[in-house]
Structure 1
């Protein structure tokens, strides 16, 4: 997805968000800002936007840094290797690049779920979001190709990828050398060299049809790159209360929104703690004083409520509980909830239309006489699946049960850097709220249940990572000592629970058809048979 800065819903005007002395200071040194040598082309673009409209949300910053069509990290070649962002030549290395065993075990896990669900003989779809270099999907397909009874049921492989350069890399891994990407209505198409079935690339999973197929969905290090918003619970000052009362209405892309609704108690009228959004602002040490090695941007707390702070912290009881505790900070990723809800509906179907229509009516404002009612969305028109089927496997890093706090980070050339340094030329990510994902999945579909998160080490050990590693090592001759060491080092790194390992930091979460608790998936304390 390529998103621009959504000014209406992401931030308030400069007049509202900056104190008077800062505004005067910015005008005084305007020529210095213009002359500054920026770290990246995108840094100047972002600075110009912030100078014009005021601080922007973290989510808006992340969208630009990662997916700006002309200067984003994933949508343009890496500043390091010019061709890669993943791997030893790029900025970081992922589990599938460390060892082939990782993708092989994900393939085995998919096979066990297919078997547990009665071995459907047709209609299987494989879907991967954020497929990187295509290594994971390649290892999955190579593995399940050894089980013809399963591989023959696959009808289509879908890759959700917004980056044109990465689509080319994935095509090179998954298709024959002379394959050409054929443009189709929803994206691009080519033939997979392992199975002979079509691979379809789309920029957003919502472009894929909803149907009665059996989808197996993979999300490896995908949710950590989705934009987040951050909020802090604060006791309002008299000055901010006055400003809040003056800010009665704000314009959004869908029209004006009343911040203060008569007769209602909300974030802006309560005398208790209120949520304030943490915004991305210019760092004057870098921009004005030109201090060496200072990032050009920094976080600042909004002086009054933003539309996001009035809405997003209200979507979960966990957030509401922390609001009363001044000083609490939460990170919320609405796009993560949208994606995982989509996963759940593809597996379990949509909730019955009656309850959905009632919920929709409650959210719709009263219409004026003669006003045309809005058309029902595609989601509202969907029926329940005839029979829930498929599964989703999410592998990422984040918290098991707590809400992520201050987790925004940057990485460049395998080194941790400020998330506000080298925008567009460094990866930016945040911890995944696994409990939030589970919450959104269960709310989205009555036909699914969620298992996990479990530590990656426990998940991989239950699938036999040690045995597969030893098998690969024993197949090599004694002369291949270096290859043997690389295999052993690789698989052990994935399950190492120490501070430098990936076994505890990374976690696995599964979404499967609701079965009344009769069976837990393989890797989550269960097996093929309940």
Structure 2
């Protein structure tokens, strides 16, 4: 998952996790609510991390915060965020010695096939002359390294690449990526951030910037965008359907434009979406860390989820955005997770590929702007759609994620409320919401998938590629590593990557011709 973004929200990194256990939702029936009387206790108690203390002090002053705000601080706080800090040991969060292993690090086959996918799309679209390659959340740069090494063999394609953009806000990770992709940690300043030559493509530069908005949009540019385990780390809002809910006459709803009070007293009891919010646990609470590690059992958690007694600005509109959510309006205790920033990013991808000025929406999830992306992005006009986006992440094929927020530490699933800033956080991706939002943002795109990663990689030829390398393996150790790696990527067991992870593609829409399925999604290579 991941990506740091002080503006981006994450370092978009990837890792293998087991399917999560649902986290405990401590509602008003089974957990004490936050109150200002906890201030003195907060100042005296011992917190698991400095960031936990900072968050608790802020909540004591302003009240409980959304899950989205909690995730954002835990992942990207400038002084204690998971992706914006450098580990004391000098090692990063990835790999066998870190908290999770990423798909590209399991096997080179993964990045090689992604590179082949980009080349095949370039061929299918008539060999565009001016290409951007963009990766959001590049982590250590392993995926991009395999991609660039692979496509460097296709000289006509590499000649068309205008620039390579890595959306990364962590200076520490930028240096790691530069060392791998450029052979240096010395980056030059550029108009949008930092830059260095690409070691694989002569004359091509890699550009680093903190925000995708800084990447140029031009009608003649064809953007090829990669998002591998990026969306699972973008903040989510969580809502629970409360039966017989009513708004007290004295309720005040704080909105960006000021407070709002109900005009007609207590509302009629009905099913209403209430936001789940994060507040410090009571010093006397017995809520313990959720983990399989015996050594940490009994350790107190710093925070817990509670149900907001009154509506929040997000609960008033986010659950009303989609017919998928509306179908659950009369289901007591139903829980849904919504990531408006994910919808904003996927809309940006779609507009870059197909242009803006969308037709009247028929999609169930409308385009959503956020503080991270401009609301007027659909003013970009593109006469001929071009480019593509490949999204690889984990989540259900066609259902709304619920109870999927989890933490990952030392390759183990833990509570998302333990050791804030030291634990990676993520939630399942709502692929249908992404697809609807992309289609709504631009009339010039179509969406394929999601399909299981096993299907995507198998139809891309992972077995054939593995067989070829296995024949040339010089020793048994290499042969075992290659064999284990490719099979792990397509494993369809209960917790296997091949089933848990999904692939989705956004490609140009051709209204004058038949639908062309991309390779990996049921199509074949064309234009070769």
TM-score, structure 1 as length reference: 0.85
1:297 to 299, 303, 307: 303
Instruction: Check the 8 A contact 2:127/2:157 in 1, yes or no.
Output: yes
Superposed displacement of residue 294, structure 1: 2.3
Corresponding residue for residue 481 of structure 1: 476
Q: Partner of 2:498: helix, strand, or coil?
A: coil
Corresponding residue for residue 210 of structure 1: 217
1:284 to 260, 276, 282: 282
Corresponding residue for residue 512 of structure 1: 507
Superposed displacement of residue 277, structure 1: 0.2
2:47 is the alignment partner of 1:52: no
Corresponding residue for residue 84 of structure 1: 92
2:69 is the alignment partner of 1:67: no
TM-score, structure 2 as length reference: 0.85
Q: How many residues align?
A: 481
Q: Partner of 1:482: helix, strand, or coil?
A: helix
Spell out, residue by residue over 1:323-361, the C-alpha distance to the aligned partner (whole angstroms, 9 max, x if none): 122221100000000000000000000125x979xxxxx
Bigger drift between 214-223 and 43-52 goes to: 43-52
Distance 2:337 2:33 in 1: 28
Distance 1:351 1:35, change over 3 A: same
Q: Partner of 1:59: helix, strand, or coil?
A: helix
Superposed displacement of residue 465, structure 1: 0.5
Distance 1:174 1:35 in 2: 48
Instruction: Check the 8 A contact 1:286/1:295 in 2, yes or no.
Output: no
Q: Partner of 2:93: helix, strand, or coil?
A: coil
Superposed displacement of residue 49, structure 1: 1.2
Distance 2:470 2:8 in 1: 49
Distance 1:474 1:39, change over 3 A: same
Corresponding residue for residue 43 of structure 1: 52
Corresponding residue for residue 270 of structure 2: 272
Distance 2:65 2:8 in 1: 12
Distance 1:207 1:70, change over 3 A: same
Q: Partner of 1:139: helix, strand, or coil?
A: helix
Superposed displacement of residue 241, structure 1: 2.5
Distance 1:385 1:425 in 2: 43
Corresponding residue for residue 323 of structure 2: 317
Instruction: Check the 8 A contact 1:78/1:90 in 2, yes or no.
Output: no
Spell out, residue by residue over 1:477-524, the C-alpha distance to the aligned partner (whole angstroms, 9 max, x if none): 2xx111110111011000000124200000000000012442101011
1:307 to 310, 313, 321: 313
Corresponding residue for residue 351 of structure 1: 357
Corresponding residue for residue 118 of structure 2: 110
1:250 to 245, 251, 254: 254
Distance 1:105 1:162 in 2: 27
> How is 1:94-493 mapped onto 2 (pairs within 5 angstroms)?
94-120=102-128, 122-177=129-184, 180-196=186-202, 197-212=204-219, 213-237=221-245, 240-242=246-248, 245-252=249-256, 255-256=257-258, 258=260, 260=262, 269=267, 271-284=269-282, 292-351=298-357, 378-379=376-377, 381-382=379-380, 384-477=381-474, 480-493=475-488
Superposed displacement of residue 381, structure 1: 4.2
Long gaps (5+) in structure 1: 6-16, 263-267, 357-362, 364-375
Q: Which has more helix, going by share of residues? A: 1
Superposed displacement of residue 287, structure 1: 6.8
Distance 2:73 2:314 in 1: 18
Superposed displacement of residue 227, structure 1: 0.2
Corresponding residue for residue 13 of structure 1: none
Corresponding residue for residue 19 of structure 2: none
Distance 1:338 1:387, change over 3 A: same
Q: Partner of 1:508: helix, strand, or coil?
A: strand
Distance 1:247 1:24, change over 3 A: closer
Distance 1:241 1:171, change over 3 A: same
Spell out, residue by residue over 1:203-238, the C-alpha distance to the aligned partner (whole angstroms, 9 max, x if none): 11122222121110000000000000000111244x
Instruction: Check the 8 A contact 2:8/2:168 in 1, yes or no.
Output: no
Instruction: Check the 8 A contact 2:223/2:386 in 1, yes or no.
Output: yes
Corresponding residue for residue 2 of structure 1: 6
Distance 2:179 2:439 in 1: 37
Larger radius of gyration: 1
Instruction: Check the 8 A contact 1:36/1:287 in 2, yes or no.
Output: no
Instruction: Check the 8 A contact 2:287/2:300 in 1, yes or no.
Output: no
Distance 1:342 1:259, change over 3 A: farther
Long gaps (5+) in structure 2: 10-26, 290-297, 362-367, 369-373
Spell out, residue by residue over 1:421-448, the C-alpha distance to the aligned partner (whole angstroms, 9 max, x if none): 0110010000000000001100000000
Instruction: Check the 8 A contact 1:230/1:332 in 2, yes or no.
Output: yes
Spell out, residue by residue over 1:247-275, the C-alpha distance to the aligned partner (whole angstroms, 9 max, x if none): 355242xx22546489xxxxx95642110
